[in-house]
Amino acid sequence: MARVVVLTPNPAVDVTYRVAQQLVGATVRVLGVQRRAGGKGINVVRVLRSLDVDALAVQPLGGATGEAIRNQLAEDEIAAVNIDAGQETRTTVAVVDDMEHPTLYAEPGGKLSSRVWVQLLDAIANHCEPGGFLVIAGSYPPGTTSNQIGSLVAEGRAAGAFVVVDASGPALIAAANAAAHLVKSNEEELLEASGSVNLESGISQLLTLGAGAVLISRGPAGLELVSADGARESQIGVPGVFGNPTGAGDAATAGLVSALLGGASQRTALRRAAITGAAAVLSPTAGEILPSDLAVLDARLDAFADQLPTPKDSSLHKT
């Protein structure tokens, strides 16, 4: 059993091409290439490890790309439950320069069989523990149903875990409908998934469906956390941070979970999320932070303390 179990339903080998300038319709020379085990959940696990939180990575893997992920997780000494997907694991390609937002090409992945879904549920039941966390992060393979997503949430809740789901589209709605303790998305994804015209109505819809709390990432503008009991917290982003934003949201999720796991208040956990997300922006690789950056970024937030909302003594997760 594990205090934190992180499920990546649709993992990938993440390939990052660094170029001088992103151009459409032209031959672009690649200055550097990096290949690594990826997917939002695996990024979350990596950052949790940097924060000294032991986490178990659960994912379906198949083919040569799946084997590459399996080997890298083993080399990095990341505890993992790897389920045979019966098909090739997908690849994503990010094109990065120092001027524009990275361009991402994401393969859809393959549909998972009923056998794989049963094994994912078994992994949750066997490894989640009361008072711990289940984090489900990232996209879902084609053909995934709302019932299948809901069953993952239900299994985590039945095991006594605090269930966090970082999703978009119909998966976000399904997670809220399944009463995930916390659902996370960015502002654009929330509006698209809910069909709402503004942030407030979108958040209200997710809470009405059954989510215990909604966390909205607004990029440099920061984070917004609203609970079903009416508690609300806002956190500005760390000012003056520039770099690669790919994976920053995953790092923020890890920061939030690590703080809540330690019994932090909602206010403190949200601040930790903002700082950890900013640390990921400073890293050239998604799913990585330098722990030494955290204190520097924390101090930078203190320098802008007059812009912070008044702290509240509230708690989102209690063991």
Both tokens of 276, joined, read 């950890």
Percent of the chain with pLDDT over 70: 95
More confident: 312 or 112: 112
pLDDT on residue 316:
61
Q: What's the 3-state SS for 211-269?
A: CCEEEEECHHHCEEEEECCCCEEEECCCCCCCCCCCCHHHHHHHHHHHHHHCCCCHHHH
pLDDT digits (tens, 9 = 90+) for 45-94: 999 999 999 999 999 999 999 999 999 999 999 999 999 999 999 999 98
Both tokens of 28, joined, read 């672009």
Q: Residue range 258-268: average pLDDT? A: 94
Both tokens of 185, joined, read 């998305």
Q: Residue range 166-177: average pLDDT? A: 97
Both tokens of 33, joined, read 């290439």
In angstroms and rounded to an integer, the radius of gyration of the C-alpha atoms of the chain is 19
pLDDT on residue 221:
85
Walk me through the domains of the chain, giving residue ranges and CATH numbers: 1-21+32-166 (3.40.1190.20), 218-307 (no CATH)
Give the span between the Cα atoms of 73 and 67, in whole angstroms.
10
Identify the band that residue 1 occupies on the pLDDT scale cut at 50, 70 and 90: low
pLDDT digits (tens, 9 = 90+) for 250-261: 999 999 999 999
Q: Work out the angle between the directed axes of helices 146-158 and 169-177 (0-180°, nearest 10).
A: 40
pLDDT on residue 307:
55
- Does the pLDDT of residue 308 top 80, yes or no? no
pTM of the model: 0.91
